[in-house]
Amino acid sequence: MIGWIRTIGERWTILVPVLAVVLLALTWGSKLSGALIAVAVVVLAAAVLAAVHHAEVVAHRVGEPFGSLVLAVAVTIIEVALIVTLMIDGGPDTASLARDTVFAAVMITCNGILGLSLLVGSLRHGTATFNPEGAGAALATVATLAGLTLVLPTFTTSKPGPEFSGVQLTFAAVTSLILYGLFVTTQTVRHRDYFLPVVKPGRPKPVVDPEDDHADAPSTRTAMISLGLLGLALVGVVGLAKGVSPAIESGVKSAGLPHAVVGVIIALLVLLPETIAAVRAAQRNRVQTSVNLALGSAMASIGLTIPAVAIASLWLSGPLVLGLGNTHMVLLTLTVVVGALTVRPGRATPLQGGVHLVILAAYLELAINP
């Protein structure tokens, strides 16, 4: 009986990614009816859960911090493809799409995913413990990338408006790739121990997921299959999110909300797999994995999106608006300062998690009521 249930569980995680891609192919470029929107939402939600499952299989095989890196980069690459596609198809109305999407990703990851993980981890285990060296290095890189690409364009004078000149945009794109590459090298090669789950004070052994103690690592073949299905699931998630976005946009418009809310909703959908994976890790007392996912996703979002849109701008006729407004710069500054105070001790209570979630709530409230 148990084996039969386990077989069903394995089968749905295989079938759902394929179903999501098939549905995406059948509906791509067409306007969805009410019934198809409902089906797309159900399949999208199932694809999110399947993506988390396969990400955990891959993570179990390759270990940390490679596991969290795989999910963060996979989601970001597909997200970048979606942004560039919308910019090419959308005309001048999408001039600020890259900025809005990247900033939404930074706020959701650095405050939402991080805050929720710290809250869940500390409530369940008393104190959420992580490595301050790894978390601090990640936050410093995120802050530098965000400052160079989202804040500086507001104050440069080579072009009118919050835009970079061609030379400035090239510099921002190259430095973003260099910083991201340096961080990945540090995370996976030079100082990998900074990004591994740490020992709690007073405990003689590392904090380990109980499942890791009893479950054998999947074979290379199983991990490769899960990696492929993870890619399919993420393509389905992002593609179906784009497919339902006109319905979301129509609902937002009929509710009298600003257009920027659409971008926030899409970002929340796209980042849902990482959110679920981070919370699960926090529940298992592997908060460092949650921190890797949160800050790594923010970093990948900036470090990969800005170079991609810089290349896309070569054939886009409209402006590329990257500079943040005053309100968003205040929120970004608050996020960086509070984040630095959070990661410095290497441990957190429910208070720190709650503070980050309040900052996210302020961002969402201001998106609805600017």
**Which residue carries 């396969």 as its tokens?**
54
**Token duo for residue 327:** 């309100």
**Tens-place pLDDT, residues 70-121:** 767 777 776 777 677 667 666 666 777 788 888 998 999 999 999 999 999 9
Give me the residues paired with residue 347 across strands. Answer: 129
At residue 202, the pLDDT reads 39
Separation between Cα atoms, residue 173 and residue 155, nearest integer Å: 18
At residue 351, the pLDDT reads 95
All residue ranges of the chain with pLDDT < 50 are: 1-9, 201-214
Residue among 356, 353, 355 nearest 121 (CA) = 353
Angle between helical axes of 132-146 and 166-185 (0-180°, round to 10): 170
At residue 210, the pLDDT reads 43
At residue 214, the pLDDT reads 42
Q: Collapse the DSSP code of 165 into the 3-class scheme (helix H, G, I; strand E, B; otherwise coil) and give the result.
A: coil
At residue 50, the pLDDT reads 82
Separation between Cα atoms, residue 142 and residue 340, nearest integer Å: 11
Residue among 153, 170, 171, 173 nearest 162 (CA) = 153
* H-helix segments, 108-215: 114-125, 132-146, 166-185, 210-214
Separation between Cα atoms, residue 81 and residue 83, nearest integer Å: 6
For 146, 168, 295, 356, 359, the CA distances from 332, given in Å and listed in that order, are 8, 21, 14, 12, 10
